[in-house]
Amino acid sequence: MKLASLINGEKDGRLIIVSRDLTRAVKADAATTLLSAIELWDKVADALAAQAQKLENGNAEGVFAFDKKDTQAPLARAPQWLDASAFKTHSELVAKAWNNKNRWSDTTPLMYQGASDDLLPSYGPSYLPSEAHDMDFEGEVVVVVDTVPMGISPEHALSHIKLVGMANDVSLRAFGAAEQEAGFGFLRAKPSTIFSPVFVTLDELNDNWRDGKLHGALTVHVNNRWVGSPRAEYMNFSFGRLIAHAATSRKLAAGTILGSGTVSDPLDDTGSATLLEVRAVEQLQHGECRTPFLKFGDTVKIDMTDQNRHSIFGVIEHQVLKG
């Protein structure tokens, strides 16, 4: 099933179930918010799925047209937002381009704790302070978990994934390097993150979900110009591994969101899901960066489609504006 949060004047919105073709929706009966549904997943999942099936069959009551502009982020606030860097290609490319230290480890995932109090809807806008901060986007896959016990194994961690979606991990590159060197992780470099209109259960993904990874191309455009379609299955750490890493020394609360980090593809013709990579390739090929970072008024579009070219999570499409 596909789940979203309708704007209703409350911070967490109103949980709705969305049809597979993203055209129709109905208010969920078993839970009023997505966070409460995740917290009580074992008790409400079957009822939500039954209502979703009625929606598909045309038997649901109270059906209305789905418009992502009537929704907020599926989780407008979450107990925790943890973002990894699970693609080795991304780390190696950026380090090579500017002769920086490569922080990648084949045994320990890179991960930071981001702000989870103001998660933004798919249509934006993203209000940012200044173009001088080198505004960028990062197209990512995200998962939402129920309560995860401390010390869980990667294999058992996979059973705690309840929903999958997409994110634009908005980044201000001018702050990033200095905050990494300080050793306390990102803060100013990471404004509020933007999420896909809907999050979906694993059964919606069919063969696109295998081995704890989402298989498919995540396509990014800026101002209708194609930037890249890297494939998400090139993650070097599965989501099971990422969850286990995060839960090494503490449990994870239900509703925690974990990100894959920038989707990055080792193939040369698939482009990139972030301008930082585009500029790294230019630096290596031409000795200089030719593509600028985002400007105010630019529109970022991120999508992933199934085998029939239907959007899986709905489209992230938002402008970058001066705040």
Rounded-to-integer distance, Cα 233 and Cα 270, Å: 13
- Quick one: tokens of 108? 């320990």
Query: Given 24, 53, 71, which residue is the final one in a domain?
Result: 71
Number of compact structural domains in the chain = 2
> Quick one: 184 and 93 in the same domain?
yes
For residue 57, give its domain range: 2-71
> Quick one: 96 and 220 in the same domain?
yes
Q: What is the pLDDT of residue 152?
A: 98
> Quick one: 17 and 56 in the same domain?
yes
Residue-level pLDDT, tens digit, the chain, 323 residues: 999 999 999 999 999 999 999 999 999 999 999 999 999 999 999 999 999 999 999 999 999 999 999 999 999 999 999 999 999 999 999 999 998 888 899 999 999 999 999 999 999 899 999 999 999 999 999 999 999 999 999 999 999 999 999 999 999 999 998 998 888 889 999 999 999 999 999 999 999 999 999 999 999 999 999 999 999 999 999 999 999 999 999 999 999 999 999 999 999 899 999 999 999 999 999 999 999 999 999 999 999 999 999 999 999 999 999 99
> Quick one: 66 and 98 in the same domain?
no
Rounded-to-integer distance, Cα 95 and Cα 97, Å: 6
Q: What is the pLDDT of residue 119?
A: 98
Stated length of the chain:
323
Q: What is the pLDDT of residue 88?
A: 96
CB atoms < 10 A from the CB of 29, how many?
Answer: 16
Query: Given 43, 71, 99, which residue is the final one in a domain?
Result: 71
pTM: 0.97
Q: What is the pLDDT of residue 128?
A: 98
Alpha helices in 108-248 (DSSP H): 154-157, 173-182, 239-246
- Where residue 226 sits, what CATH number does that domain have? 3.90.850.10
> Quick one: 133 and 99 in the same domain?
yes
> Quick one: 7 and 151 in the same domain?
no
> Quick one: 279 and 167 in the same domain?
yes
Q: Which residues pair with 128 in a beta bridge?
A: 322
> Quick one: 101 and 149 in the same domain?
yes
Q: What is the pLDDT of residue 300?
A: 98
> Quick one: 41 and 156 in the same domain?
no
Q: Which among 110, 109, 116 is positioned nearest to 176, based on CA atoms?
A: 110
Q: Which among 78, 61, 309, 111 is positioned nearest to 192, based on CA atoms?
A: 78
Rounded-to-integer distance, Cα 143 and Cα 81, Å: 10
Q: How many Cα atoms are found within 13 Å in the side-chain-facing hemisphere of 64?
A: 10
Q: What is the pLDDT of residue 100?
A: 86
> Quick one: 96 and 25 in the same domain?
no
Q: How deeply is 323 buried, as exposed, middle or buried, from its count of CB atoms within 10 A (0-12, 13-18, 19+)?
A: exposed
> Quick one: 183 and 243 in the same domain?
yes
Rounded-to-integer distance, Cα 46 and Cα 34, Å: 15
Query: Given 51, 71, 91, which residue is the final one in a domain?
Result: 71
Rounded-to-integer distance, Cα 272 and Cα 263, Å: 8
Contacts of 121 (CB under 8 A, 6+ apart): 68, 71, 72, 73, 76, 194, 195, 197
- Quick one: tokens of 98? 């500017």
> Quick one: 178 and 254 in the same domain?
yes
